[in-house]
Amino acid sequence: MSSEENRKAYWKANVRLMVTLLTVWFVISYLCGIVFVEELNNIRLGGYKLGFWFAQQGSMYGFVAIIFIYARRMAALDRKFDLHEK
């Protein structure tokens, strides 16, 4: 694979990862915390309504999890495309 093809493939994989994680973040924070809150409130998690939990805690936990997932996946991508630090 040429250098230009390698850069394009790396960037495409990076953008795909970012779009996927941003979609998950949107679903957790906006859809679960705002749009579907009434439906989720019928489910209980630790004594609290699930919609309330997503609005208060779930979006923060989800965001922190996304940060760690992104870091691990980018490290794997860097190794795959031989861009990691030696």
Mean pLDDT of 38-50: 89
Kindly report the pTM of this predicted structure.
0.82
Q: What tokens does 3 get?
A: 């250098």
Burial classification of residue 55, based on how many CB atoms lie within 10 Å of its CB (0-12 exposed, 13-18 middle, 19 or more buried): middle
Work out the mean pLDDT of the chain and round it to a whole number.
Answer: 91
Mean pLDDT of 13-38: 93
Mean pLDDT of 2-11: 90
For the chain, what percent of residues have pLDDT higher than 90? 58
Instruction: Give pLDDT, residue 76.
Output: 95
